[in-house]
Structure 1
């Protein structure tokens, strides 16, 4: 994940702090909107303006980065990793992972297991 840009939007910063610990929560964008107290459209506009990411893309990037760490560090099944980072559908997770990382989760694990390829 490219480093999100620095910003001074306290509401969005609070949501970023919350999502960092709750990226695996169901409906994370809706929950951030609720926590922000903003109308959904305003939240999404401010989030993108502040971070450079749409809220959905931000959550997906966090989830994929966490999945990468789990793939590098352990032997947990890919379906279990998908569930651990918040994806109920392992097929969707694999497709999203491949789009983001350029390889499947299994290929990523093989390439980077034990930190040898970073």
Structure 2
């Protein structure tokens, strides 16, 4: 996951120091299990149903994103190149960004309910 301030930091560093034709991953540099993230997000919206386990063939047919994310295979986005070539470092720690993001969602939901 990448908190918006960290994504913007990566964009600015790429604009200033990136090399033409290069692509860089920027993240909060903290492992996140997508299923756990989505289940937490769904619970904020009142959805109290777990994401079902799918076998790889079924997931590849019905899930509109890389199916491996939903069947327990790791998907690692490495920031090594952004760190080495751009000097990238997250400006907001993962825990702070995660908390701020969920606080924003909760506030929006409360506002919509009012």
Give the TM-score of the pair, scaled to structure 1: 0.28
Rg comparison, structure with higher value: 2
Give the TM-score of the pair, scaled to structure 2: 0.29
